[in-house]
Amino acid sequence: MIEELAPAHVDTIRPLLEQSRHTPHRFLFRDIPRELAAYWFDEIAGWVRSGDGEVFVAHEGGRLLGLAAYSALPWDSALFKQPMGAIKYVVVDAEAPAPLAKELVEAVEAWARARGVAFLLCKTHTDDMQLIHALEVNGFLLMDTLIDYVYDARRFPSADIIAPPAPPGFSVRLAGATDLDQLAQVARAAFIGHFGRYNSDPRITPAQSAQVYEEWVRSCARGYADWIVVAECDGVIAGYSIWKKPSNAESALSVRVGHFSIMGVHPDFRGRGLFGPLAYAGMELLRGIADCIEGPTHINNYPVQRGYSRLQWHGADAHHSFHRWLTGQRVE
């Protein structure tokens, strides 16, 4: 039986989360497994209690066998002018029947359809084959695969890493309010032919995909991120990197996790060695604030992976992104 989880029963999901290895920040699972399970529980319980998300639970004979968590995507919904949401998590007990993941995905999809949701995103660990197959059977399409790179400042303090110099003629600084239009222009040029999940979706045009990244940097400049670092040459912004401090919940973990959100380099300045100085500047900003920094990159973005390696980052996990459109209308 699958039903919505009532706030009064939210504590019943704890054991299910504690036995799962598909936690957020899984690269820390060996270090702080109990803390990660508690962090995960607090996130999901917060949605249930606040009404910001929905959690569906499957049980039989009083035993909890699995759950699926849904949350809205307000930023994407505003950008694409239609309701969009995400299946954030699907967790299934190891002894549950094989079709349960599929049934949980179907339950979320039916609930979303009934409420006019046009689109569902689901991100999975690449080794969560039960969920991956459930998504495929339910019509979700694979859009991209990201490698999660991690910099561990406990092992490699940034002060011990030789700072990559900016190329001749370039300087690196923090972005200011007057840089917003230039940043948006760089984002549009950098990502117009990108291979991310927006670009891979046949329902989204290349121009719309580029607009996503343009609006992304605008949102970051308005407060979504903590810092935007820019590299410029003769007063022209050539590239940027975006960084976030650990959230309050992440700061409460014994290993604090910061975030390298995204980097964009204008095509005119690619191959000039900007990744190193833009990344190192962000690492320095998070020194003493984060014990680890996570940053994604696409599985076939080999130049960025080499850049990460030079700065003592390592590949620590990987995710797939799946899309499912619930309406037949093209994105406007």
Report the pLDDT averaged over residues 17-32. Answer: 93
pLDDT class of 97 with cuts at 50, 70, 90: confident
Predicted confidence at residue 52, as pLDDT, reads 83
**For residue 329, what pLDDT band results from cuts at 50, 70 and 90?**
low
Q: If pLDDT is split at 50, 70 and 90, which confidence band does 265 have?
A: very high
Taking only the tens place, the pLDDT of each residue in 135-179 is 999 999 999 999 999 999 999 998 899 999 999 999 999 999 899
Q: pLDDT for 270-306, tens place per residue? A: 999 999 999 999 999 999 999 999 999 999 999 999 9
Q: Stretch 179-188: mean pLDDT, rounded?
A: 95
Least confident of 67-71, 179-183, 194-198: 194-198
Give the distance, in angstroms, between the CA of residue 191 and the centroid of all CA atoms in the same chain: 17
- Residue where the block lists tokens 């030079």: 310
- Right CATH number for 2-139 from 3.40.50.300, 3.20.20.150, 1.10.760.10, 3.40.630.30? 3.40.630.30
Collapsing DSSP to helix, strand or coil, 204 comes out as coil
Average pLDDT over residues 33-61: 91
Residues with Cβ within 8 Å of residue 26, at least 6 apart in sequence: 36, 125, 317
Q: Rounded to two decimals, what is the model's pTM?
A: 0.94
331 pLDDT above the threshold of 60: no
What is the predicted pLDDT for the residue at 159?
85
CATH topology identical between 2-139 and 149-318? yes
Average pLDDT, the chain: 94
Among 91-95, 153-157, 232-236, 293-297, the range scoring the smallest mean pLDDT is 91-95
Q: What is the mean pLDDT of residues 189-203?
A: 90
Question: Given a cut of 60, is residue 64 above it in pLDDT?
Answer: yes
Give the torsion through C-alpha atoms of 322, 300, 215, 222, to 10 deg: 110
- Report whether pLDDT(330) > 60: no
Report the pLDDT value the prediction gives residue 60, as an integer from 0 to 100.
84
CB 304 within 8 A of CB 105: no
210 membership: H or E segment, kind and range: helix 206-219
Domain segments of the chain: what residues?
2-139, 149-318
Among residues 42, 38, 61, the alpha carbon closest in space to that of 53 is found at 42
Can you give the pLDDT at residue 98?
77
Contact 261, 294 (CB under 8 A): no
For the segment 213-220, the average pLDDT, to the nearest whole number, is: 94
Q: What is the pLDDT averaged over residues 78-86?
A: 95
d(CA 212, CA 298): 17
CATH number of 149-318: 3.40.630.30
What's residue 332's pLDDT?
A: 52
What is the average pLDDT across 92-119? 93
